[in-house]
Amino acid sequence: MKKSNELFNTILGLDEPWEVERVDLSIEQNEVTIYVKYNSNKGICPECQQKCDIYDIRESRKWRHLDTCQLKTYIVASLPRIKCHAHKVKTISVPWAESNQHFSYLFESYAIEFLQATLNQTKVSRLLRISFSQINTIMKRAVNRGLKRRSQAEIEYLGIDEKSMKKGHNYMTILYDLQQGVVLDAIEGRKEESAIKVMQSVKESNHCDSLKAVSMDMWKAYINSSKAVFPDVDIVHDKFHLMKYLNEGVDKTRRKEASKLYKVDDNSLKHTKYLFLKNTENMTAKQSLRFEEVKSMNLETCKAWAIKENFKEFFNCTTINKGKFFFNAWYNDVKESGLKYMIEVSDMIARHWNGIISYLRHKITNSLSENINGRIQQIKTIARGFRAFENYRVSILFYLGNLDMSSQGIL
């Protein structure tokens, strides 16, 4: 028995005055219980780290530790309390776990690694033989640790975007570090107050003194929130969202024209929706031939498509002056075309001109969000949805926040 005590002393990495008093094995309950004793009349204050007299001994507590030969293993100890002149009566810290927790450092770290490898909380809780709520608690604590330790490197470019949470108009707002490619935080809703709250939170917990620009859609709530929290920072309207609006203008033009042609038994635009929305370099040989055939016709849809394609050259402009010259010429061409839906989009772009031209200064986009949104959807699918948004947020930051979530004091 003495040898087993010494073995577990070594395994737990205990130093005087902590030592393993005894080890109990219960085959019936499939458990190993390690009883640890504190042998000293002095203890360290957890607040000021001063050596103080032991005041009394609390009732015994139990912590779940890593399994021993597939047996559930627990550490049991009665914790002394010290009496500190500055901080009064305090329970001393233990070397194997954080204060007021039920898992050892090693067990918690193992659970975190397991979760990151599987993305499946239900599976991990079953394999580790703990409850789902306990797994959820471990994740929350890990994320809180990670947010407190988050690298204080200067953030130069932020991205803000929305993500649908469920059917209907239910959205969350996500804030990204565009250079590091990580999620900084997420909040329920996409209204101005929500966006301001998440931006303010990120501003307070990160170094944003070097922030140069925030990339976003032309959603008014995001524009206002950025101006409120980062008044001296440029707003850059994401080019992929701009192209989305232009594509919508082309598609509306196509539908309107197709309806007119159909009334006179002209099927020129039948089954052409994706020809006008798809990038030409991604078309099959058959699609390319069909598209060339359609483009040879004098159709309004083809003119709208050409307007959309021409705008792509704006993003290749090398100076602000070239960008202004290009846009003025393009805008006049759109007006002269008389195409209602393309004029509407061009007017919208003109109203947000400052955020459009800022792209040429910073060359940033929210393309990162497409990749991250796909990974968020994967997390949601594996979890089969989330009842509470806070659990959703914790999972997003746990898997996509690039946080240092390891337990301190790992044995």
pLDDT for res 21: 92
Q: What is the DSSP letter of 154?
A: B
- The SS3 of residue 261 is helix
pLDDT in tens, 168-223: 668 999 999 998 889 999 999 999 999 999 999 999 888 888 999 999 999 999 99
- The SS3 of residue 38 is strand
φ, ψ dihedrals at 342, nearest 5°: -75, -35
H or E element at residue 4: helix 2-12
DSSP of 304-372: HHHHHHHHGGGGG--SHHHHHHHHHHHHHHHHHHT-HHHHHHHHHHHHTHHHHHTHHHH---SHHHHHH
- Are the beta carbons of 194 and 202 closer than 8 angstroms? no
C-alpha distance from residue 40 to each of 46, 69, 80, 155 (Å): 16, 32, 9, 49
Band of the pLDDT at 154, cuts 50, 70, 90? confident
pLDDT for res 295: 86
301 by Cβ neighbours in 10 Å (0-12 / 13-18 / 19+) ranks as buried
Residue 249 to residue 271: CA distance in whole angstroms: 18
Instruction: Say yes or no to pLDDT of 244 above 90.
Output: yes
pLDDT in tens, 252-305: 999 999 999 988 888 889 888 988 888 888 888 998 899 888 888 889 999 999
pLDDT in tens, 320-359: 999 999 999 999 999 999 999 999 999 999 999 999 999 9
Express as a percent the part of the chain with pLDDT over 70.
Answer: 97
Q: What is the DSSP letter of 293?
A: H
Task: Give the count of beta carbons closer than 10 Å to the beta carbon of residue 157.
Answer: 22
The 3-class SS string of 202-243 reads: HHHHCECCCCCEEEECCCHHHHHHHHHHCCCCEEEECHHHHH
Taking CB atoms within 8 Å and a gap of at least 24, the contacts of 272-277 are 272/301, 276/247, 276/250, 276/251, 276/301, 276/305, 277/247, 277/250, 277/251
- Are the beta carbons of 81 and 120 closer than 8 angstroms? no
Angle made by CA atoms 58, 59, 65, in degrees to the nearest 5: 105
pLDDT in tens, 48-59: 999 999 999 998
pLDDT for res 410: 42
Residue 191 to residue 183: CA distance in whole angstroms: 19
Residue 229 to residue 203: CA distance in whole angstroms: 8
Band of the pLDDT at 361, cuts 50, 70, 90? very high
Residue 57 to residue 38: CA distance in whole angstroms: 10
Token match 């990670």: residue?
146
Domain residue ranges in the chain = 1-101, 239-362
DSSP of 100-118: T-SB-HHHHHHHHHHHHHH
**72-86, 267-281, 359-373: which has the highest mean pLDDT?**
72-86
Which sign, positive or negative, has the C-alpha torsion 80, 67, 29, 19? negative
**Cis link prior to 17 (omega < 30° from 0)?**
yes
pLDDT for res 369: 83
Structure tokens at 93: 């810290």
- The two most distant CA atoms of the chain are separated, in Å, by 99
Express as a percent the part of the chain with pLDDT over 90.
Answer: 70
Closest CA to 366 of 171, 219, 256, 147: 219
| Residues pairing with 161 in the sheet | 174
pLDDT for res 2: 64
Average pLDDT of the residues of the chain:
91
H or E element at residue 397: helix 389-400
Band of the pLDDT at 411, cuts 50, 70, 90? very low
- Are the beta carbons of 102 and 64 closer than 8 angstroms? yes
**pLDDT higher for 390 or 6?**
390
C-alpha distance from residue 258 to each of 138, 215, 254, 272, 298 (Å): 57, 36, 6, 10, 13
Q: CA dihedral defined by 257, 263, 267, 268, rounded to 10 degrees? A: -30
H or E element at residue 78: strand 71-84
